[in-house]
């Protein structure tokens, strides 16, 4: 039985409270900070580790982060895709970097709101903070060695208990990207309606995502981004009903428990905080074809498609394309 823990420490309330819990549950605890910026350890991280009386290990990952997250995100945006850098960062940088220094006697502890079901990850008990979606791209060998002590807890209780115990942590939580993207050339292009008629101009498809409404200008009625095309740099807009997709294809699949046969029934979640919907899955030469039980709104190529059986994550991949009902111009 494992009696030691390596705790992923960021300085936020979740990882700081997880570290405190580990002090009560394991005989030996280390904290690991993954430096993705090259700026060293923030004072909040040092204060938290110091207050817990544990060894603090720094993992230098700025080069890996730049290659796997910053440049990758920039490339995705230039192709008219909507990346999910947080999910990729878990898989390609943060959890991977800590797993590489994990000792045989240690479990890798994180502050994610998720639970374990044997080797599988399950949804966290807090429906408002469940983070299983962000773990769907992580390799099964890494997840096998992970423990999520906050999985059964509510976020509001974690924050309250951390404050009562005077655990040092960053008081403000950032919901924005933790990095700046390279400056794009800003190549202009056409804004088209669904009939193929040019109705405006834009200053770069990198500034748009499927489902976006703001920043489109005035067209006499509420319009949304329905599609992006990197080859001719067009932004196609339509009404809300034009955002619906009947299915999608996901590539770079990370299977945690691949169905024994296809077609298979499961649920899929195509964005964070979006409810999972029943779907029929089919394997098409390594790619996953998904047919939704009902049309889904604003399914964006580049986002993560997480696959669930009940509340357990069984896989995840990157949406490469979507399938639309027959588009018709809204005459209203």
Q: Give CA–CA dist 268/265, Å, rounded.
A: 10
Residue of 22, 86, 89, 248 marked catalytic: 89
Helices (H) and strands (E) in the chain, counts: 8, 17
Dump the DSSP string for 85-106. Answer: HHHHHIIIIIHHHHHTT--TTE
DSSP characters for 285-322?
A: TTEEEEEEEEEEE---TTSEEEEEETTEEEEEEEEEEE
The answer to whether residues 6 and 105 touch, using CB atoms and an 8 Å cutoff, is: no
Phi, psi of 33 (to 5 degrees): -110, 125
Beta strands 4-8 and 264-269 are: unpaired
Residue 112 DSSP label: -
* Overall residue count recorded for the chain in this entry: 332
Catalytic residue among 39, 146, 178, 305: 178
Q: Which helix (H) or strand (E) holds 127?
A: none
List 225's β-bridge partners, or say none.
237
Does residue 89 carry a catalytic annotation?
yes
Paired tokens of 312? 């357990």
b/e burial code for range 165-202 (CB count within 10 A of at least 16 → b): eebbbbeeeeeeeeeeeeeeeeeebbbbbbeeeeeeeb
Query: Are the C-beta atoms of residues 283 and 262 closer than 8 Å to each other?
Result: yes
Catalytically active residues, by annotation:
89, 178
């Amino acid at each position: 039985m494992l009696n030691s823990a390596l705790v992923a420490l960021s300085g936020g309330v979740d990882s700081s409270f997880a570290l405190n819990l580990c002090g009560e549950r394991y005989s030996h605890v280390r904290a690991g900070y993954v430096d993705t910026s090259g700026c060293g350890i923030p004072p909040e991280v040092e204060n938290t580790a110091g207050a817990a009386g544990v060894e603090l290990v720094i993992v230098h990952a700025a080069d890996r982060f730049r290659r796997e997250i910053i440049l990758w995100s920039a490339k995705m945006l230039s192709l008219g895709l909507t990346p999910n850098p947080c999910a990729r960062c878990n898989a390609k940088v943060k959890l991977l970097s800590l797993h590489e220094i994990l000792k045989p006697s240690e479990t890798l502890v994180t502050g994610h709101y998720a639970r374990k079901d044997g080797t599988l990850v399950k949804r966290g008990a807090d429906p408002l903070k469940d983070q299983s979606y962000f773990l769907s791209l992580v390799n099964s060998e890494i997840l096998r060695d992970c423990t999520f002590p906050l999985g059964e807890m509510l976020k509001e209780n974690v924050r309250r208990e951390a404050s009562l115990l005077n655990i040092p942590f960053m008081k403000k939580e950032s919901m924005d990207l933790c990095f700046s993207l390279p400056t794009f050339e800003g190549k202009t292009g056409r804004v088209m309606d669904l009939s193929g008629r040019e109705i405006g101009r834009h200053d770069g498809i990198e500034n748009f995502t499927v489902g976006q409404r703001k920043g489109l200008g005035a067209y006499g009625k509420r319009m949304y981004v329905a599609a992006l095309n990197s080859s001719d740099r067009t932004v196609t807009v339509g009404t809300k009903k034009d955002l619906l997709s009947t299915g999608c294809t996901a590539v770079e699949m990370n299977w945690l428990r691949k169905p024994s046969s296809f077609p298979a029934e499961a649920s899929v979640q195509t964005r964070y905080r979006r409810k999972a919907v029943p779907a029929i899955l089919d394997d098409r030469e390594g790619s996953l074809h998904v047919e939704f039980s009902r049309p889904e709104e604003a399914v964006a190529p580049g986002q993560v498609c997480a696959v669930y059986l009940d509340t357990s994550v069984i896989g995840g991949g990157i949406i490469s394309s979507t399938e639309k009902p027959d588009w018709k111009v809204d005459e209203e």
